[in-house]
Every structure is written in structure tokens, then in C-alpha cells.
Amino acid sequence: MPAAASKKSFRKKRLVLLGATGSIGESTLKVLRAHRDKLELVAVAGRTNCAKLDAIAREFHVQHVGVFDEAAAHAAKKSGLFAGRKMHVGPAGLEELARLPAGDMVVAAVVGTLGLKPTLAAIKAGKDIALANKEILVLAGQFVMAAAKKHGVAVVPLDSEHNAVFQCLDGERREDVAKLLLTASGGPFRDYKRQQMAAVTPAAALKHPNWNMGPKVTIDSSTMANKGLEVIEAHWLFGLPAERIEVVVHPQSIVHSMVQFVDGSIIAQLSPPSMTFPIQHSLLYPGRADGVTPTLDFRKKLSLDFRPPNLDLFPCLRLAYEALRAEGAAPGAFNAANEVAVAAFLENRISYLDIPRIIEATLNRLPAVRLRNIDDVLDADADARLRAAEVVKKIKKR
């Protein structure tokens, strides 16, 4: 189960936002603008979009700015951006921000393995974590959650599905939990036949029916690889085995997840498909405040549909479950192979149906690896990426 924040009296929180220029960052800033009396931004970081990062720093009077890409940081400094502010550059710079004494909570919203070491640095410095980066727990869940427990740090899930579970479990006895029910929109192709899937283009896959997300996450949603990553993440957050984490297709994206208890009762969390809801809950927990986005109106007609996922049509979800059960380096390899495959698909080097083929081939080539530390995690990730890239080279686009 997650390292839960204690229900102390609410006080203003000082936030370090890693990933300020992405979609999660934008939604986080919406929440901050609405609750300046409760939340304060003390540091921001991004990869390359320095102009946007500078604008954020000026709006929120932030003195500490991190830029991961060293070339972009050099160009920004030369052009006069971030004048009068302290710059933190490269991977080490992100870790500096994560440990910043002025920060109470770190919003881990950077994509990929880039967020792993800063998150661990924040935990070791005693900072609470609002976790938006799936890869952190998929790659190194055992180390991250052990560190959080050791240092008495709260890991509050910021993803809509995991935040929903977190809310449903609040105040409940964990021994009473039978299973988690993670909902999935099913993406734009949930009603397709397999022959239709073969003709899917990047442009079509980037049109999600409900959510506005970055390109990689949008493709992952369409293949349900994203939901597979969330299953692995839920295992580490809530301490349940794969058999007690189910996925349910829910096209409306209004019920974000559910928890079924041993007596058969089910508690669900509902809100419109906007990331401002889980982000606000994560940042203000254990308090609440007026929302920044209109919520559901039950005076209007509302339909909620549910059905099981089609694992034949969406094999990425099946492969994620297999990787979770295999343990060790397999979950990280699933993530790495998927990232390589999605990048190749977006570059029109492979077909849509090649994405799960590349993941499966990579997992089948994976040697048994016991992860002893974070260096092992990163080595295994790099190895899986090389293996996946080799598979991509052998595939001719159909």
C-alpha cells in the first residue's frame, strides 16, 4: 500500500515542479493559480522549452530553474533567459532541485527514466512526492517504495487512475481490499476489428476521444500499453499482486478507478476527464478546496458503460501482466521496448501492429536479471532498449 500522508492540519505547501512545460505541468499550474493561498511554487524544471519555462518562472516568481538539456540551457543563458535566477543544469541539476531545502513536495512529472534519480533524491531528502511519472515505479518500484518507507515520505499518486484508488482507500482497512479495478477508455480503436488496426496511422492514433495528453502517452492509450504500465505501477503503490488488479474498459472516462472489498462492496471515484482533479487532490491532500474545472452535473443525462478489455486486440496489456508476473527486469524491459516501438511508429518506420510484436520479441530475448540497485535498473533499461532497437531494424514496415 502507498506511503500515505498523515492527516495533519493543512498548511501552505511549497512545490518543486519537475516537468513544468508538459501537459501535466500545465494542469498543475492551473491548480496553482487557483490556490496561491495554499500552494507556492519554489522551483521548476523542463527539458528544452526554455522560453516557456522562463515565462512560468516569471509568473510565479520562481528563483530556481532546472533545464535538463545542457545545450538548451547554454542557449537560454546566452539569450538572457532566466536572468536573476539560479539555473540548475542537466541530470545533476534536477537532483539539486529535488533536494531543495525550500521545497516540501516534489511533483515528479518528467517523462521516462529521467525522473528516477531526482525522485529518489527527493525521497532521501525527506520530500513528499506527487507521482505522475509511471516509469519510475515500473522500472524501480521496489527501490522507490522501500526508500519512501525508510524516510517516512508520502508517495501520493497523481495519475487519475491511481489517485482514484488512493481516494477510494482513504480511511479503509487494507486487509479488507479484495481487488482494484482500473478503468481504461479503450482509446480511439476500442471498437475496431483487427484488420482495421493494421491500417492505423500515427495521425489517427494521436486523436484520443477523451483526454488531451502528450504524443507518447496518447499512443500508449490507444494500444493499452499505458494501462499495462498502470497495472505495474498499482502493484507497487498498493502492494497487490497482478491477480488482484483488474482492468475495465469504460469509454466515458468518468469513473477513474474502483476498489472492491471483501464483502463485495465497490467504491468508485468519479470526475470529468480532466487532470486538474487528481492533481489538485494530490497537492492539497489531506485537505480539499474548490475545484478549478466544472464537475459532473447529475441533473443531466449521464451514461456509464463498462466491459472487459479484449486482450487479443490489445496484446500490450497482456504483455504488461506477463512482465509483472516475471518480475526482475521484465517490467522495465516492457517499458523500454514500448518506448522504442512507439518512437519508431511515430517516425513511420513500423506499423501500428508492430508495437506489441517488438515488445514481445524484446521480452522473449530478455535474460534473467536480478536487480540489486538503481545502477542495475538503468543497465537493464539500456540493454532492453538496444534489444528492442535490433528488433525494429529487422521489421519491414507493412
Evaluate whether 108 touches 15 at the Cβ level (below 8 Å): no
Copy the grid coordinates of residue 41. Answer: 511554487
Q: What angle do CA 137, 324, 190 make, to 5 degrees?
A: 95
- Centroid of chain to Cα 41: 21
Contact 306, 248 (CB under 8 A): yes
Burial call 275-300: b when 16+ CB within 10 Å, e when fewer: bbbbbbbbbbbeeebebbbeeeeeee
CB–CB of 104/14 below 8 Å? yes
Q: How far apart are CA 190 and CA 293, in angstroms?
A: 27
What is the pTM (predicted TM-score) of this model? 0.92
pLDDT tens, position by position, for the chain (398 residues)?
554 444 444 568 999 999 999 989 999 999 999 999 999 999 999 999 999 999 999 999 999 999 999 999 999 999 999 999 999 999 999 999 999 999 999 999 998 888 999 999 999 999 999 999 888 999 999 999 999 999 999 999 999 999 999 999 999 999 999 999 999 998 889 999 989 999 999 999 998 777 666 788 889 999 999 999 999 999 999 999 999 999 999 999 999 999 999 999 999 999 999 999 999 999 999 999 999 999 999 999 999 999 999 999 999 999 999 999 999 999 999 999 999 999 999 999 999 999 999 999 999 998 878 899 999 999 999 999 999 999 999 986 55
Closest CA to 183 of 218, 159, 219: 159
- Between CA 348 and CA 350, with CA 349 as vertex, the angle to 5 degrees is 95
What domains lie within the chain, and their CATH numbers? 13-158 (3.40.50.720), 160-273+287-312 (no CATH), 327-398 (1.10.1740.10)
Of 346, 122, 391, 53, which Cα lies nearest the Cα of 216?
346
d(CA 376, CA 384): 12
**Nearest partner of 54 among 76, 36, 35, judged by Cα:** 76
pLDDT, position 320: 98
Name, in order, each residue with C-beta under 8 angstroms of 394's C-beta and a sequence gap of 6 or more.
none
Please report the pLDDT score of residue 396 as a whole number.
Answer: 63
Q: Could you read off the pLDDT of 196-247 as tens digits, one per residue?
A: 999 999 999 998 777 666 788 889 999 999 999 999 999 999 999 999 999 9
Q: Quick one: pLDDT at residue 187?
A: 86
Q: What is the model's pLDDT at position 397?
A: 53
Q: Is the CA virtual torsion 114, 115, 118, 123 positive or negative?
A: negative
The per-residue pLDDT for 211 is 66
pLDDT of residue 314: 96
Number of residues that this document lists for the chain: 398
> What's the CA gap between 36 and 158, in Å, rounded?
19
Helix boundaries (H) for the chain: 23-34, 50-59, 70-79, 90-98, 116-124, 134-151, 160-169, 194-197, 202-205, 215-223, 225-238, 276-284, 315-326, 330-346, 354-365, 374-394
Q: What is d(CA 33, CA 7) in angstroms, rounded to the nearest whole number?
A: 24
The predicted pLDDT at position 368 comes to 79
